[in-house]
Every structure is written in structure tokens, then in C-alpha cells.
Structure 1
Amino acid sequence: MSLISNLKPGGKHGVPNTESRDPIGFLVAGLNRLAQSDLIDKMGLRKQTEQVVFNVTRTGFKTITNASRTFARSGKKGAPGTRPAATAGTGPFDLTPTEDEQMLVDVVSEFAEEVVRPAALEADTKCAAPDELLKASLEIGLPILGVPESLGGVSEERSAMAGTLVAEALAKGDMGLAVATLAPGSVATAIGLWGTDEQQQTYLPAFTGDEVPAAALALNEPTVLFDVFAPATTAKKADGGYVLNGTKSLVARGDQAELFVVGAELDGKPVLFLVESSTEGLSIEGDPAMGVRAASMTKLHLKDVKVPAESVLGETDGSTYADCVRLSRLAWCALAVGTAQAVLDYVTPYVKEREAFGEPIAHRQSVAFMVANIAIELQAMRLVTYRAAARAAAGKNFSKQVALARKLCADKGMQIGLDGVQLLGGHGYVKEHPVERWYRDLRAIGIMEGTVLV
């Protein structure tokens, strides 16, 4: 039976209920009548029409569901929250993961290989992660990776290093799906790092329970020459709270999110705010981009959004916001390393098997040098990223290290994606091979702010 024929809105016998004036109901009703016609079969449009109805109803009903959840206030108002302890120093810079980190990476690597990679192409096409994959990511504990153990998480110490390793392992499967699965945990991590006792007791139990909410970190904005440290979104004090106005872009799974961490300018300083999806004045718009499409990117519009004073996350002097940006950039560096590793792993056997003029193209010096250069630059990207992550985990200043890592990963990551396409020749341009998707994803590293953090 057709999908559309099952979607009969409104009242009795499939007749639309005239008392309901929501636009989604009207749209489904109209498309339902269209589905009963032979016209779309003659034109070969039934599959496309069914997909439109599915997407519209899914987004509409999800919005209603998300807005219906309320987070009951709990904890001591104004009391400091629990903070994970800094990782103990080991002296010289050591890249060897701890036993716990290695076990975690092994589990995530298996998940990336067996679940993420096979779903990547379809998710990129549909601009949406499969529900089954998202549920599986909850089962392996991704949302609570950065939550302190005392609050129901798994983190005894700051998890920047573990988070970096996990993001890299997931990105080897697919960067877009990695972002989709990491986005809720990024919000939980932010609350664990900077939240007050009240904020932690109010929101974190939801992330450690069975019904984990989708959540999003919204820092990007759709402005030319966007400076993340000077957001155009504003917050003004009013009636014992704040009023937010502005637009955030490239918000992962924004149509599903029940909680947002929004960056806004307050008294000349960038500040983070916790905003629930049920707050009046919020609206969501699709915002698909060139890459990272499986993360279901959206725009978040804020029009006179009123939030209470206790919605401020961290300090109001810009220091918390700066830490958030740095940890986010670290996460994107880790994603770049994982995706670049996927490129290297794919092109190496390809150039050995692909023959031209009677021999493998790997015998050509230009090809061999290009593959070797990918391996060299990739190792450099990994080293500087791990160095920044190690300092972040130890609670040390890592601003210089993450700046170097971001510059290197943005430049060399994009070059690695381009070289991967070049090495496959014509095959690099078609979707039969994943390198064209990895190239599109790697171009995001230099422009993405927020969305994920470790």
C-alpha cells in the first residue's frame, strides 16, 4: 500500500477536519488527493511525492513532540555545578591511549565500520541520519561521554582526549553521521563543564536516561565574514531575564532538538544561553549545505525569545564562550583527522589495483608521491590535534595548540580530500565511490563553529 494512502488527515472517512487549520494538515490533505490520481504514476513522480509527504509530516510532528517536553527545575539555584577533574599529567607528551580510552575507541571504531559507513550514502542523500543508527549511538554511550560520573555519566576526568579519539573514529565512518550522533552529547558536555547545580540537575538526567533528547550547540551565523567571537545574535536584559534575537545557522538536527545552547552578544561580550525548544519565538528552517549533509543542518530563528536569568551557561565575561569555541574547533579537527584517514585507507588499495597502460597507477611517481603526501600531512594533523586535546584534558591553556591544529586541519584536510578525488580520476567525481562525499565534508572544517565539542 502506498505511503500516502495511509496518511489521511483530519476527520471521519479520511475527510480533512476543517476545524484544524494547521498548514501541515492542509498540505498532507492536498497531497493525499493527488496520490489518488493516476497522474503522478504516469509522470513517474509517486516516489518523490511520497518522500515529500514523509519529510513534511516527520518534521511537523517532531516539532510538536519536541516542544511538548518540559524540563522540571531541580538543584540548588546559584550553586556551582559538579566539574570533572583534570587529567593527571604524565610528563613527556604521550600519544598512547589509556586502557579505558582504547576500549572505547575499539567499540566506536566497530560501530563506525559496521553501522555508520554502510548508512552514509543514503543519509547524505536524504540529509538525515537513520533513526536506528541514532538509537544505536545512544546504546554505546555517546551522549554521556563528557558527563561527570557523579551526574550519571562515564567521565571521572575531563574527557577531551577521549572525545577527540571518539570523534576521529566516528568520522572514519562518515563525518555527517558523526556530527549527528555527537551533537546531543556536546550539549551535555557543555552543561557538565560550565553548568550550575540547578542546570545540571535539571537537564543532565534526561541525557543519562532512556529517552535522550536531541540537542544542538548553535554558534554559527549566516553572515558574510562571520566572526564567531562577535555574534550578531543579541541578548538584552528584560524582566529579570533576557530577550534573544537573531539567526543561527548550521544547527545539527535542529528540527528534532529539544534543547539548544545558543551564543549571543550580551553587553559587548559573547555569552552562552540554554534555550528549550518549547520557548515562544523559536522557529526552524532547513539549511542543507555542500557537506556534512547527514547531520540535518538547519537555521534557528530567534525572535523576541524570552529566557530566565538562570539560562546563562557559564560566565558572562566571554571566557566560557571562548572555551566553548576552542573545544568545538578541537572536535572539528578530530573529525577532519578521521575523514582524512578514511581517504588514505580508500585510495591506497585503489591505486595499487587500478591499472593504466598495463601497470598499476601506483607505479607512477606522481601518484605514489601524492599518496605519501596524504600520509605525511595526515600524521601532522593527528599529532597537533592530540597535543591540543591532551592539554585541554589536563586543564591547561590550549588556545595556541588548537589554533595551530585548526589551521593545519582546515588547509591540509581540504587538500587531502582534493587529492583523494584526483587519485580516483573520473571515479572520484561520482557517488559510486565515497571520496567525493569526503571531499565535500572536509571543506567544512575551516568554516564550522560550534555544533560539536569534546
Structure 2
Amino acid sequence: MTTFMGQAQGVGLAILNQIASSDWPDKLKLRKPIEKILYQGSKTGFKVMTKVSRQFASSGKSSNQATRLVSSAAKGVFDLSLSDEQQMIRDSLTMFAKEMIRPAAHDSDANAAVPAELLAQAKELGLMYYAVPEALGGMATEDNTTTQMLILEDLGYGDMGIAAALYSSVSVANTLARWGSSEQQERYLRAFASENPPEAALAVVEKTPLFDPNKLNTSAKLVGSDYLLNGEKALVLTGADAELFIVAADAEGTPALFIVESGTAGLSLSDGSAMGIKAAATKTLHLKEVRIPATNRLPATFDYQAFLDLGSLAWCALAVGCGQAILDYLVPYVNEREAFGEPISHRQSVAFMVADIAIELEAMRLMVWRACALAEQGKEFHREAYLAKILCAEKAMKLGTDAVQLLGGHGFTKEHPVERWYRDMRCLAVMHSGLHL
């Protein structure tokens, strides 16, 4: 049955790709109905599989050259238009966010967990294949930072916490695809393209006040042919289910990333629930004399600043998606809610506040899209990523605050989702990686 489902998913992806590159659905005005049929079909026939123990092992085919995704060619103009494939992905994921994620958001937040059925449905979308290079079993042939940013934006439209949980493993695969050695890719990354990809998480943030990701307290000491890791990591997404961690630690004054399997001696987890993104079930990761092979350190070519920047852009994309959800919720509310015999949107103070939300949201979106476009083209993007993070961290909180304010007393209750969105948006100022484009 598992093999059959894998074959069906492969056929489905092939059909979707063929439709995306064809003109006949547009000529016959059948693209929307066909996409809906394919989307509904992808949701059937799946079954929830229990977590099984996993042995990460090399296939013995590793070469001395790691597999890298090439940068896309610059278009030469500032072009915000989407390709047919990107638009189709957006249409499908927006539908998934509205029909599947949004209805599950309230209970997922309350229970601090994503329903197993929703996780299984999300896997059927095949998001992991955009992170794994074609040579290692995925479908990525070039850097697709912008496409993945769009995916996160659409998932964030449904719920930030659920989206973060769904993308945690994809983020680890992205990191290994971008910087892992050939041996690391063969041993670990190839597993992410299997029918049952592993759950995985990035561990960067620490509980230090005013945490600076460039000044890590978690240490990695080289002892012979091994590293000993000691420290503590906070806000680790889906930590309890992760089979693999990528941990940021200070290696003799240099920030570095290390691959740590969940069953390694000295590694433990404790509750680390947060104010927002509760559905992501954040945990605190403890490392006490955790011994790993020196080969589990990402190569010296690893760019730590780019790693942080791509993490920031991932969170910004989620915030843009959540901001769009806020705007789409507020407009009909202020038009339908009446006070003193007329809709409250007739009051300039209300109308101007909603207009400001739309303006600020569009500024956030443009900043994030621009930074991701530069990253995808292999150009310097640190400045743009930094500016996008500063803007999104500030405006995300304003969007959440204004949403609560516009609903008045209703905004302070769980009867409406704006209080959850307010809490989720707060994470932008404190999350350093955890997600990665």
C-alpha cells in the first residue's frame, strides 16, 4: 500500500507539472476545475503511519562533490510576476490553507499539537520535494528560494503555528541541500526524499536575554575525531517528534552547525511551550556531553550569516501570510459590524486603520520578495534580508495590535482568531532560524 501511495503521488506530481506547462486548460477555461479535482484527489487514499525507528545510513554512492542547486538566471528587470507553476502552487496551497489548516488552527493552538490527519495530508502535498535536489531523489533542479517563500506565505495564511510545524523538516532539508557535504547529503538528505521522510528540526535560539545568534553559549569542543556538545536550545519546533536536529554551537569562537540524531546519548528534551505558535509544540533541547563524529559538522564553506538571513526571510514570509489573513478577516467585519446605526467602517478612524494595515502589509511583502529574489539569483542579499526582518518584526506587531483593537472586546477573546494571530506575530522579534528557505 505504501509503495502504491508513493507511485500515486509521483503520478500526481507529473500530472500537475504537465498541466502547469500547458496552455490548453486556459484556452478551454478548465484550469480551475481541473486543479480542484487534482487537489481533492490528492487528499484521498492516505493513511496515518506511526513513527518508526529510523537508521540513517549511506547508500555507498557518495562522491567527493556535494550536490548543489544552481542559482536561477537574473531576468534583468524587477519582475514580480509569478510563473505558471508558482501560480498553480499558490492556488492549491491557498485552498489547502483555507479548507484544512484554518479549521484546525484553534484546536491545534489549544492542544499545542497538529492533528495527525493534517500532518498526513500535508505530506501528500509533496513540499519536501522542493527542498531535495533531483540527483538525491527530489525534484529541485535549481535554487527555488522564491517558490518556497511563496509556499510559506500561503501556509501562514492558514495558521503560523501549523505552518511552522509543517515546514520544520523541510527547513532541515534546505540546510543540508545548501551546505551539507556529499557524505552528509547521502546519509541524511536522501532520506528526506523517501516515502516516509524523517521529522527534523533546527536548534539555534537560546534562553539568553537579548539573545544574539552570533554569540552562542552552546559549545562544541573537538576531542580526537569527535565533537562534544554542551548547552541548551530553546523554541525548537516539533522537538518531541524530531528524529534529527541541526544544532548551532560555538566551535572555538566560530559559529557552526552540527547534525545530531535524536537517540544520541546526552541529548534530552523538556517542555518549552511559548506564548505563540503553540501548534508547533516548541521544546527545549538539552545537550550534555553529546558526542558526535567530526564529520557531522557542516563544512567550512558553510555561510552562517546567509543561514540566519534565510531563516529570517522564512519567518517574514509566514508573517506576510498571517497579515493577509488579518486583513481579509477585518474588512468584512468592519463593514458588517454596526454602531450608532451604521457600519463602523464609515468612521474615518476605523477606515484609516484598515487602510494602514493594507499599506504596511504590501510593504512587508515587497521587501521579503525582493530579498528572496536576490538570494535565488545568487546575489548579495544580507542588507535586504535585514531590512525585511526589521520592517516585518515591527509591522507584524502593529497589524496584530490593530486587529485586536478594531474588534474591541471581541478581539481579546478566543471567539475570534485575532488574539491568536497577535500572539503568533510576536515571534518574529525573537526567532532566529528554526525555519530556513
Deviations 1:93-121 (A, max 9, x none): 11111122112222211111111000000
Deviations 1:211-232 (A, max 9, x none): 1111001111111111011111
1:176 aligns with 2:164: no
Pairwise mapping of residues 45-84 of structure 1 onto structure 2 (< 5 A)?
A: 68-75=53-60, 79-84=64-69
Give the conservation status (yes or no) of the 8 Å contact 1:216–1:254. yes
Give the conservation status (yes or no) of the 8 Å contact 2:129–2:193. yes
Whichever of the two has the greater Rg, that structure is: 1
**Residue aligning to 1:218:** 203
AA of the residue aligned to 2:353: M
Out of 289, 297, 313, the residue aligned to residue 298 of structure 2 is 313
Q: Tell me, what secondary structure is at the counterpart of 2:234?
A: strand
**1:197 positional shift:** 1.3
Identity %, equivalent residues: 51
Out of 319, 322, 333, the residue aligned to residue 350 of structure 1 is 333
AA of the residue aligned to 1:337: V
When the two structures are superposed, what TM-score results if normalisation uses the length of structure 1? 0.83
Out of 380, 385, 395, the residue aligned to residue 397 of structure 1 is 380
1:195 aligns with 2:180: yes
Out of 357, 360, 366, the residue aligned to residue 374 of structure 1 is 357
**1:76 positional shift:** 6.2
Give the conservation status (yes or no) of the 8 Å contact 1:271–1:320. no
Deviations 1:66-98 (A, max 9, x none): 7x4221134567823100110111111111111
**Residue aligning to 1:101:** 86
Partners of 2:403 and 2:306 in 1: how far apart?
A: 33
Give the conservation status (yes or no) of the 8 Å contact 2:218–2:232. yes
Task: Select between 279-288 and 148-157 the one with higher mean Cα deviation.
Answer: 148-157
1:431 aligns with 2:410: no
**Residue aligning to 2:98:** 113
Q: Tell me, what secondary structure is at the counterpart of 2:167?
A: helix
Partners of 1:100 and 1:197 in 2: how far apart?
A: 30
Out of 326, 333, 340, the residue aligned to residue 309 of structure 2 is 326
Give the conservation status (yes or no) of the 8 Å contact 2:62–2:186. no
**Residue aligning to 1:167:** 152
AA of the residue aligned to 1:308: P
Partners of 2:380 and 2:138 in 1: how far apart?
A: 25
Partners of 1:256 and 1:118 in 2: how far apart?
A: 23
**Residue aligning to 1:131:** 116
Give the conservation status (yes or no) of the 8 Å contact 1:76–1:198. no
Q: Tell me, what secondary structure is at the counterpart of 1:451?
A: coil
1:204 aligns with 2:189: yes
Out of 146, 150, 162, the residue aligned to residue 131 of structure 2 is 146
**Residue aligning to 1:240:** 225
**Residue aligning to 1:11:** none
**Closer, same or farther in 2 for the Cα pair 1:339/1:382, shift >3 Å?**
same
Give the conservation status (yes or no) of the 8 Å contact 2:119–2:166. yes
1:386 aligns with 2:364: no
Partners of 1:391 and 1:75 in 2: how far apart?
A: 36
AA of the residue aligned to 2:433: G
Deviations 1:14-55 (A, max 9, x none): xxxxxxxxxxxxxxxxxxxxxxxxxxxxxxxxxxxxxxxxxx
AA of the residue aligned to 1:240: S
**1:423 positional shift:** 0.6
**1:322 positional shift:** 1.6
**Residue aligning to 2:275:** 290
AA of the residue aligned to 1:300: L
Deviations 1:173-203 (A, max 9, x none): 0000000000000001111111111111111
**Residue aligning to 1:7:** none
Task: Select between 363-372 and 277-286 the one with higher mean Cα deviation.
Answer: 277-286
Partners of 1:147 and 1:70 in 2: how far apart?
A: 19
**Residue aligning to 1:89:** 74
**1:320 positional shift:** 2.1
The gaps in structure 2 that reach 5 residues or longer are: 1-49
Partners of 2:294 and 2:222 in 1: how far apart?
A: 9
Give the conservation status (yes or no) of the 8 Å contact 2:132–2:192. no
**Residue aligning to 1:8:** none
Give the conservation status (yes or no) of the 8 Å contact 1:80–1:195. no
Task: Select between 204-213 and 240-249 the one with higher mean Cα deviation.
Answer: 204-213
Give the conservation status (yes or no) of the 8 Å contact 2:201–2:246. yes
**1:288 positional shift:** 0.8
1:341 aligns with 2:320: no
Q: Tell me, what secondary structure is at the counterpart of 1:410?
A: helix
Partners of 1:75 and 1:171 in 2: how far apart?
A: 39
When the two structures are superposed, what TM-score results if normalisation uses the length of structure 2? 0.87
Partners of 2:191 and 2:97 in 1: how far apart?
A: 25
Number of equivalent positions: 388
Partners of 1:348 and 1:155 in 2: how far apart?
A: 38
**1:208 positional shift:** 1.1
Deviations 1:353-411 (A, max 9, x none): 00000000000000000000000000000000000000011111100000000000000
Give the conservation status (yes or no) of the 8 Å contact 2:374–2:381. yes
Give the conservation status (yes or no) of the 8 Å contact 1:261–1:275. yes
Pairwise mapping of residues 252-291 of structure 1 onto structure 2 (< 5 A)?
A: 252-291=237-276
Partners of 2:59 and 2:300 in 1: how far apart?
A: 20
1:440 aligns with 2:426: no
AA of the residue aligned to 1:125: A
AA of the residue aligned to 2:277: V
AA of the residue aligned to 2:151: V
